[in-house]
Amino acid sequence: MAKDILKKPDALYEVYHRKPGEDKKNIHYCPGCGHGVLHKLIAEAISDFGVADRTIMISPVGCSVFVYYYFDTGNIQAAHGRAPAVATGLKRANPDTIVISYQGDGDLAAIGGNNILQAANRGENITVFFVNNAIYGMTGGQMAPTTLVGQKTMTTPYGRSVQNEGYPIKVVELLATLESPAYLERCALTDAKNIAKTRKAVRKAIKCQIDGKGFSLVEVLSACPSGWKLTPVQAKKWITDRMMSYFPLGVTKDVIDEREGYHPEKVKLTGDRIEEILGLKKEKLFRDKSMSEVPEQYRNPQIKVAGFGGQGVLLLGQTLAEAGMRHGWNVSWIPSYGPEMRGGTANCQVHISENDIGAPVVDFPNILIAMNKPSLDKFEPTVQPGGIIFYNTSLIDRKPERDDVETVGLPFTDIGDELGSLRFANMVVVGAIIEKTRLLDEDIVKEAMKEVIHNKKFIPDNIVAIERGMAEAKKLE
Amino acid sequence: MAKIVVQVDHCKGCELCVEACPVGCIEIDNEVLNKLGYHPAKYKGTGCTGCGICYYTCPEPDAIIVYKKNEREAA
């Protein structure tokens, strides 16, 4: 419906109360800046569609960081380049929200390049307005990813050179190579015709989101007279003469009509459901135990578990940590392993302590579990005097050389194999640790093991393995 | 009759409207210095067709109001 009066749209505040200083009626942009025009076009569309009350504008970093001064909508200001990630969260938490990310070229194409790429590739149902003025305006006119070849900026005083800085990034063409986006177009804020086209594109992009059609982005070539050191009228001409030949206007992707609208229900998370998801509802076996009940040399132990990847080294450490937690102690567990899932070296480091744990790293363990020879060779010298070494005689053909530590050598791998699988070896070790250190209680360890083992069908076998480990360790005495 | 109203203290004198107006009915008023320190745009008083191009060209949300018809008719 054509309006009889054209004036400031309702989606812009009458008075900009958030703006500091005396002047609360004028926007902060320089004379002739394209931001103001785009603000008006977006605000007009939001007002006309009647969605201001459910719109959230996301301000970027750059000149338009103060979008939240002006728009009478919800507003969030995102970290540099991260507007698409913030938009994703907002949209997914509240699918009814109309989320509009407003970003400049430094924000979107440089520091936020991957953010926009991934949001577009996920096909987030958000609308992005990308203001391309080929320069970092706010910080004083430095080169942007979109700065034209030959364009002089503060950081390219002789002009952008292809050899040194490469070519400007064409964002809508780049995103058009992805399957997910629904609508991508480049417009320009120049003459009446192009502004009218921009207006149409702005409305189409917002409508795309309202209809649940998916990701839309409109790139707007926009003047920065201050950054370009031109008058506003010259700047407008510069867009036409210089920018448009490299950044051609037009639609690079439009599959809106081919798509069904997708309108997901808002996921409502109640307290009960959250507790269920986090596993807080389950009855768990806990028993407060004082470290004074533990033999002195094993109190507040620092544990290192090392072996080949695939020997269950990490799971072994997790079982000890989970069990420690269920005794009311503080625990930490960190793994360290090579890139291969099986066959490389792996180790994990576990703290179990009555006290606060500072660093989770264990450089000098008082409990070492060495599941293969390289681990014993490497870590035996690091064990604290008075500590204990559990070593796997199935794979280690020597005894530890240290005489100031206790040593427990058992054929853990062979015992596991005998119980039905090499993979039970780690729980045989756990059994031996229970028996030898008296740190952890058997019943609690068994419950902890059930928690950390994902495939529940192996639980009975692993219980047998723990008991066998205890029995074997007892025999050594 | 259509007309525009320039809200003087919102104009930053960028001249984009002057350049864009298809009938040339806007000029810069060099006699006036507004609160922002600019010579603002001024409607020459006749010729406006109510096309709205100046409104959409102007970067300031409040500087130009376009009445496409007579103000009384529109209200």
In this structure, what CATH number is given to the domain that contains residue B62?
A: 3.30.70.20
Asked if B55 is an interface residue toward chain A (Cβ–Cβ < 8 A), one would say yes
Domain A291-475 has CATH 3.30.420.40: no
User: How many A-B residue pairs are in contact by the CB < 8 A criterion?
Assistant: 90
Does the structure show a pLDDT above 50 at B75?
A: no
Report the DSSP beta bridge partners of residue B67. A5, B3
Range of the domain at B68: 3-74
- Which of A373, A390, A384, A386 lies closest to A426, judged by CA? A390
Contacts of residue A225 in chain B, CB cutoff 8 Å? 14
Assign A1 to helix, strand or coil.
Answer: coil
Using alpha carbons, list the distances in angstroms from residue A237 to A188, A192, A221, A231: 11, 13, 12, 10
Which of A3, A34, A199 lies nearest to residue B59, judging by beta carbons?
A34
For the segment A201-244, what is each residue's pLDDT rounded down to a tens digit?
999 999 999 999 999 999 999 999 999 999 999 999 999 999 99
Tally DSSP H helices, then E strands, for chain B: 3, 4
Q: CA–CA separation, A164 vs A20, rounded Å?
A: 41
Paired sense of beta strands A330-337 and A345-353, if any: antiparallel
Q: Which helix (H) or strand (E) holds B28?
A: strand B26-28
Q: CA–CA separation, B40 vs A403, rounded Å?
A: 92
Assign A15 to helix, strand or coil.
Answer: coil
Q: Choosing among A1, A3, A8, which should be mutated to test the B contact, i.e. which has the most B CBs within 10 A?
A: A8
For the segment A115-126, what is each residue's pLDDT rounded down to a tens digit?
999 999 999 999
Q: Edge-to-edge strand order for the sheet containing B3-6?
A: A5-6, B64-67, B3-6
Does the structure show a pLDDT above 50 at A1?
A: no
Does the structure show a pLDDT above 80 at B8?
A: yes
A442: amino acid identity, one letter: E
Contacts of residue A27 in chain B, CB cutoff 8 Å? 59-61
pLDDT, position A345 = 77
Spell out the domain ranges in chain A.
34-258, 291-475
For the segment A389-405, what is each residue's pLDDT rounded down to a tens digit?
999 999 999 999 999 99
For the segment A254-294, what is each residue's pLDDT rounded down to a tens digit?
999 999 999 999 888 888 888 888 877 667 788 899 999 99
For the segment B27-72, what is each residue's pLDDT rounded down to a tens digit?
999 999 999 999 999 999 999 999 999 999 999 999 999 999 865 5
A40–B61 CB contact, under 8 Å:
yes
Does the structure show a pLDDT above 80 at B26?
A: yes
Does the structure show a pLDDT above 80 at A464?
A: yes
Contacts of residue B64 in chain A, CB cutoff 8 Å? 6
Average pLDDT over residues A153-167: 96
B57–A37 CB contact, under 8 Å:
yes
Assign A175 to helix, strand or coil.
Answer: helix
Which of B38, B51, B61 lies nearest to residue A36, judging by beta carbons?
B61
Q: Choosing among A25, A26, A230, which should be mutated to test the B contact, i.e. which has the most B CBs within 10 A?
A: A26
* Alpha-carbon gap: B50 to the closest alpha carbon of chain A (Å): 9
Asked if A45 is an interface residue toward chain B (Cβ–Cβ < 8 A), one would say no
- Rounded (5°) CA angle A386-A391-A396: 135
Extract the runs of DSSP E, i.e. beta strands, from A312-435.
Answer: 330-337, 345-353, 367-370, 388-392, 406-410
Does the structure show a pLDDT above 50 at A69?
A: yes
Asked if A43 is an interface residue toward chain B (Cβ–Cβ < 8 A), one would say yes
A26–B62 CB contact, under 8 Å:
yes
pLDDT band at A454 (very low <50, low <70, confident <90, very high): confident
For A108, which DSSP code?
Answer: I
Assign B51 to helix, strand or coil.
Answer: coil
Q: How many domains does chain B have?
A: 1
Contact A52, A11 (CB under 8 A): yes
Contact A465, A446 (CB under 8 A): no
Average pLDDT over residues A101-114: 96
Using alpha carbons, list the distances in angstroms from residue B4 to A4, A8, A175, B62, B70: 12, 13, 41, 12, 10
Give chain A's mean pLDDT.
94
Q: Which of residues 65-104 of A touch B (CB under 8 A)?
A: 70
DSSP string, A437-468: H--S-HHHHHHHHHHH-S-GGGHHHHHHHHHH
For the segment A327-362, what is each residue's pLDDT rounded down to a tens digit?
999 999 999 876 655 666 789 999 999 999 999 999
Q: Choosing among B17, B48, B60, which should be mutated to test the A contact, i.e. which has the most A CBs within 10 A?
A: B60
**Scanning every residue of chain B, which has its alpha carbon at the shortest distance from the alpha carbon of A26?**
B10
Does the structure show a pLDDT above 80 at A190?
A: yes
For the segment A278-289, what is each residue's pLDDT rounded down to a tens digit?
877 667 788 899
Asked if B60 is an interface residue toward chain A (Cβ–Cβ < 8 A), one would say yes
Which of B16, B51, B65 lies nearest to residue A7, judging by beta carbons?
B65
- Quote the tokens at residue B54: 């100046």
Average pLDDT over residues A51-55: 97
pLDDT, position A264 = 94
pLDDT, position A285 = 83
Q: How is domain A34-258 classified at the CATH fold level?
A: Rossmann fold (3.40.50)
- Quote the tokens at residue A10: 């309702």
Which of B55, B61, B74 lies nearest to residue A4, judging by beta carbons?
B74
Residues A38-52: b if buried by 16+ CB within 10 A, e if exposed? bbbbbbbbbbbeebb
Assign A319 to helix, strand or coil.
Answer: helix
- Rounded (5°) CA angle A339-A342-A343: 95
Q: CA–CA separation, A72 vs A202, rounded Å?
A: 18
Extract the runs of DSSP E, i.e. beta strands, from B1-75.
Answer: 3-6, 26-28, 41-43, 64-67
Q: CA–CA separation, A30 vs A441, rounded Å?
A: 71
A225–B65 CB contact, under 8 Å:
no
Q: Which helix (H) or strand (E) holds A431?
A: helix A425-437
Which of B20, B61, B67 lies nearest to residue A27, judging by beta carbons?
B61
Asked if A14 is an interface residue toward chain B (Cβ–Cβ < 8 A), one would say no
Contacts of residue B72 in chain A, CB cutoff 8 Å? none
